[in-house]
Chains A and B, each alone.
Chain A
Amino acid sequence: MRSPLLKSILWCLTALTVFVSCNKDDDEKQETKNEVYVIMTMSQNVLTKPGYTSAFTTKPTGTISNIGDGTLQGQGMGGWRPYNNWLFKMFNTSANEKGIERLTVSSTGVVSSGGFIKTNNTINGSGNFVIQNETSGFYWDADKPYMIQRFNPTTLSRTGEWNFESNIKKTDAGINNQSIGQHFLAVKNGKLFADIHYGKNTAAQSGMFDDFFSGIFVAVIDIATGNFEKVIEYDETGGITYINDNEMFSFDTNGDLYIVTQGRSAIGGKSKLLRIKANETNFDNWEINMDDIMTGGKFVNVMVDNGTIYTTIPTESLTGGPTGNINFSEIWDFYTINPTTKVRTKINNIPLSTNSGGAYGIQKLDGKIVLRVNAPSKNINGYYELNSAGTSATQLFNVSEGGSVSGIYKITIQ
């Protein structure tokens, strides 16, 4: 009996040793990965969006400054669209020009602007992009409104274009601008989903809450062939997603795609959350209408994870104008919504925030969901971390220097 027992003990010890050793090796590998947390802040609420981006070697806690050695100061610091270890944004650092720019972080933590694809610089939505993989991506350039531009994210260079003018062009009187992919570009199961917009406005206002029809249209394009397969539409809404770095759509863990529509005007009205199921190419018969939640409100954020929707909901009707509350008033509350029951639950212990605008209001960081909060009246400007139950949040860190936070992301320096 003793022998097998001893043998078992020895095996266990050996296994434990190996296990511990492996863990140690893994830890060492982790330590040599050179991961950094990159934070972006906007120093002024002006159109050029000046601000700062800094890299931190450890996860920020407490009160931090976002301006230090190696910090990049520039324009277009209102948000970004990270992809794996890349930080992309739709406005360049040197002059807030529209396009696709990549930020790089050196091994010494110096942030700088990398490559840049230039697009039309006057029409909002120019530079709206989506990345399929490390060598394939798609974007819209207002200089070629009926086309989808293709690019290589690794070289950050344009590689070609698809022309869909014959597929989408309409001649209705009153349509003053038309586009494909100006607001919404998403890749799902080998298909490119691109919004088709028919708008009433001209020039820089083109595509800005000016839907000509009573609903929205999305083209489904086969990426492998470039074939324009079909148009799907959803009525009684408008303003699909938006035209800056916060792309306002999110894939659930199971592949379901949730899409924000901001509604019929800049201050809402028929603003909805829509869904395309994982293996579908048509809109699901499912919606959440902001009008049922807050009259005069709208959706501006969505993040979906493990079957739970995370979003912001205003506490009062939105207003514009000199004293309008939409952007800089602390009126945005954080909620979870069960997509099946549509029951929404307010997240506790987190203050009301200003509008996150081009920044992600809700995102994942180190496997946790973090929430961007800018509440000057409460001296809060940073991120909160959601508890595992999804019911309450605690402050992760506060930024005291650099302006209002507009992004945090972890990358591994290659």
Chain B
Amino acid sequence: MQYKILHTFLLLTGVVGLNETVHAQNKDTSKVQVLENVVIEAKSASQRTAEQNVKISVVNTREVQEQAATLTELINRSPGIRIRQSGGLGSGTDISVNGFQGKAIRYLKDGIPVDYLRDGFNIASLPLNTLERVEIYKGVLPISIGTDALGGAVNLVSRRSANQQLSTSYEIASFNTHRYTLNGYYTDDAKKWFASVDFFYNYSDNDYKAKVKVTDPVTSNQQYDRVRLFHNAFNNVYGEVSGGVTNRKWADELKISVTAFNLNREQNYPALMTDPYGAVKGKQSSIVPTLRYKKSFFNNKLFIDQFLVHNVVNVQRIDTLSGRYDWYGNFYPVPGRIGESRQAALSDIDYTNTTSRTFIKYQLNANHVIEINNVYTDLQQKGTDPYGPKLDGTGTSIISIPAGYKKLVTGIGLSSKFLDGAFETLVMFKNYHYQSSGIEAWQSRIITENDQVKQSGNNFGVGGAIKYNIHKYSFVRFSAELANRLPDQEEIFGDALWTVPNFSLKPERSLNINLGYRLSNEKNNSFEVNAFYRRTEDLILLIPIQAPYAQYQNIENVKGFGMEADGVYHFSKVLSANANFTWQDIRLFNINSSTDQWQNNARLRNTPYFFANAGLNAKFQHLFKQNDALKLYSYYSFVREYYLETIPKRLEPGGFLGLFGKSTVNTELIIPDQHFLSAGINYAPLRNLLTMGFEVKNILNKDLYDNYRVQKAGRSFHFKVVYTIQSKNK
């Protein structure tokens, strides 16, 4: 009789990971059995994570660390996800997951909401080499993801190592782009203590050519020209030094880290590439001490994971130029003017953050696990800006008035297995509570301390998931959640500039349902199809109220469904291909105003509704010498055109699923079809030690737009070297 045991441990590049999920699950499955012929079937942490009972996509960054891809490109190759970027390296991003966008999606670092790092740890600039993988939760969030996201979360899992390791990478690319990473981990032989360092540095001039409308200085008429962006550089440096002890009687792990980051961003244009700026800048910096404690008790039945951080992020914006630039970089003084943008600024704002996350997991018995997660966030804002708006009649800068925001998200869930593990279920309840205080400072009136406003809210959510393992290589999973997203600090307090407070904002609410099927085989071929339904009410949108002020308000209701499919096929040990597509039909509903009722059933504006990816990979080993490896790859990405503003359903493009034709409405407000093709080659003369890679992006040199009239870079060339030293497993 042949027994097969499904062992779960990391088997990525020969390194055993230590992430908490794996840590716990190893214990779950550690049964003592008498074995005859043992077949070990290893699943990577990424595979295990992807097979949770909630819907999730996993992007294995370590697997492609030698590629010169950015994190946003890599994530965009996954189904159901679209990250739109407003320019080059380090520019702003907007993620869409199954039709949810913006703040409905939360970012986390190792399971902790990452707001305390602001842009210092951002998908727009994070090098692949700093991450183990990216987990993208769609619709329903497990208890361990303790946040109030409405439609999903992106968990950025830091690079892990169990043994001594030093890895460094350097990339040089078009537009004077340089990216450097250093990751090191050291532990003693007994694994009683450890130290680690994670460091990266990014720099890019981002001076690619863009097709913009330039203004004739005589006639003031405009015509298109391709100009090189001239004030678009970005750099950030990030370092995290950690040390701690492991495998002690009183702690499985106690880790103390100090992170420091500094970020500088030039701004060459406003939200659209309509006007050139030549001196607007932004800066962010912080020193961030964190503490993490993990311990199992009672024969591993009880597991506690505590995280704590307190830090101040300093955010500055500088816009004090007395003049303007044209698209060719020529400067023209303007008498009496201060600032190029709509708001002159010399702002210096401190955001003081305290976050505590407590995760408790208790194994009731072999088949039932109860989990509790509690995340408390306290955020205070105070700053100065001599050019910022002031309270009428007082001269007091609005930004100097302290504002505070506290949030407590608590979840409890029960994970169970039935029928010898064939059924896996999750039932969970969540409570969301927030409290905010500040001054409604934007109205033209005398403000005193007595005008302090306090606001609080309390909401509940419920969700569940079922997974049925049809057989070893296939399963069906279903999940549903009634989720809430609390308004965040900016939505309630505004930005002390043109976004004014709204203390009566209600949380967004959404019913999310997912149904999926996955089939794979021993050759790692896989096929997965998922469908989703969502019904979101009180969507929070930024609305202008009294020029020039805007305010976040509960405005729209959207509902709809969609589907995504993803497949990987290995033609041979050398050649493999993957492809996926996403189609979603998210539409407005329940609009009662007679003026706007025509918008009912219209597609949610400015949201991609069809996109697809395809990739081809070839891997050759022992090609020129023993243990060398050569990889060739090419990726193609397509996004169907979509409309910036609402058009009635009857005038949408026709054809199957709206994929063909054009609207009969005469409009320029279109984000056109996007075709992105890239290809690269990596060569590792010594496997897992040195890798060199070369990649060409946007080979077709297409004009690419993620956002309306914000062009991305044309064809670019990238060269990357990765060097890794590591000790063997002990």
Contact = CB atoms under 8 A, between A and B. Distances in A.
Interface stretch (A27-35, A120-128, A271-279): A120-128
A13 B590 CA distance: 66
Given A121-B274, A178-B336, A70 B220 contact: no
Q: Which of A113, A116, A165, A378 has the most CB of B within 10 A?
A: A116
B666 A402 contact: no
Contacts of B334: 142-145
Interface string B311-354: 00000000000001000000010111111111110000000000
Given A143-B324, A381-B595, A266 B546 contact: yes
A157 B219 contact: yes
Contacts of A94: 668-669, 709
A322 B222 contact: no
Contacts of A337: none
Given A73-B667, A157-B221, A67 B651 contact: yes
Interface stretch (A44-52, A231-239, A363-371): A44-52
Contacts of B338: 202-203
Contact of A116 (B222, B270, B595): B222
A97 B335 contact: no
A324 B504 CA distance: 13
A99 B389 CA distance: 26
A89 B628 CA distance: 66
A52 B643 CA distance: 14
Interface string A89-101: 0000111010100
Interface in A310-342: 320-322, 324, 326-327
A95 B666 CA distance: 15
A414 to B, nearest CB: 20
Contacts of A326: 546
A204 interface: yes
A404 B595 CA distance: 6
B342 A122 contact: yes
B709 A124 contact: no
Contact of A93 (B274, B548, B668): B668
B396 to A, nearest CB: 15
Contacts of B20: none
A403 B324 CA distance: 36
A40 B335 CA distance: 37
Contacts of A47: 544, 547-548, 550
Contact of B215 (A118, A145, A379): A118
Contacts of A308: none
Nearest to A111: B666
Contacts of B389: 205
Contacts of B543: 45-46
A77 B47 CA distance: 51
A93 B213 CA distance: 14
Contacts of B644: 50
A301 interface: no
B455 to A, nearest CB: 12
A404 B667 CA distance: 19
A145 B335 contact: yes
Interface string A345-378: 0000000000000000000000000000010101
A265 interface: yes
B364 interface: no
A261 interface: no
A396 interface: no
A157 B387 CA distance: 35
A221 interface: no
Contacts of B343: 203-204
A165 B335 CA distance: 10
A110 B220 CA distance: 26
Given A145-B334, A326-B546, A327-B546, A321 B222 contact: no
B599 A74 contact: no
Given A202-B338, A403-B596, A67 B665 contact: yes
B33 interface: no
A149 B217 CA distance: 12
Contacts of B340: 122
Category for how many chain B residues contact A:
35 or more
A400 interface: yes
Interface string B133-146: 00000000000000
Contacts of B597: 400
Interface string B581-613: 000000000000111111100000000000000
A288 interface: no
Interface in B337-395: 337-344, 387, 389
A43 interface: yes
Contacts of A376: 593-596
Category for how many chain A residues contact B:
35 or more
B444 interface: yes
B648 interface: yes
B572 interface: no
Nearest to A322: B502
A381 B594 contact: yes
B647 interface: yes
Interface string A140-157: 011111100101000011
A47 B548 CA distance: 8
B664 interface: yes
B448 interface: no
Contacts of B218: 158
A145 B332 contact: no
A117 interface: yes
Contact of B664 (A69, A124, A324): A69
Interface in B620-648: 644-648
B551 interface: yes
A122 B341 contact: yes
A75 interface: yes
Interface in A395-411: 400-404
Contact of B545 (A68, A142, A322, A404): A322
A202 B339 contact: yes
B657 interface: no
Contacts of B695: none
Interface string A64-91: 0101111111110000000000000000
Given A72-B666, A73-B669, A115 B341 contact: no
A112 interface: yes
B339 A401 contact: no
A393 interface: no
B505 to A, nearest CB: 9
Contacts of B213: 118
Q: Which of A45, A95, A144, A156 has the most CB of B within 10 A?
A: A95
B424 interface: no
Interface in A242-270: 265-267
Contacts of B502: 322
A43 B340 CA distance: 30
B444 A320 contact: yes
A44 B342 contact: no
A209 B726 CA distance: 67
Contacts of B339: 202-203
Contacts of A151: 220
Nearest to B665: A73
8 contacts: A50-B645, A67-B647, A73-B647, A141-B220, A158-B219, A203-B343, A320-B444, A381-B595
A-B pairs, top 8 by smallest CB distance, nearest first, are A73-B667, A204-B342, A379-B594, A401-B598, A158-B220, A157-B219, A50-B645, A47-B544
Given A117-B221, A120-B324, A203-B342, 12 more contacts: A52-B665, A69-B664, A70-B666, A75-B669, A112-B666, A124-B547, A146-B335, A157-B221, A322-B551, A379-B594, A400-B597, A402-B598
Interface of B: 213, 215, 218-222, 270, 272, 274-275, 324, 332, 334-344, 387, 389, 440, 442-444, 498, 500, 502-504, 543-548, 550-551, 553, 593-599, 644-648, 651, 664-669, 709
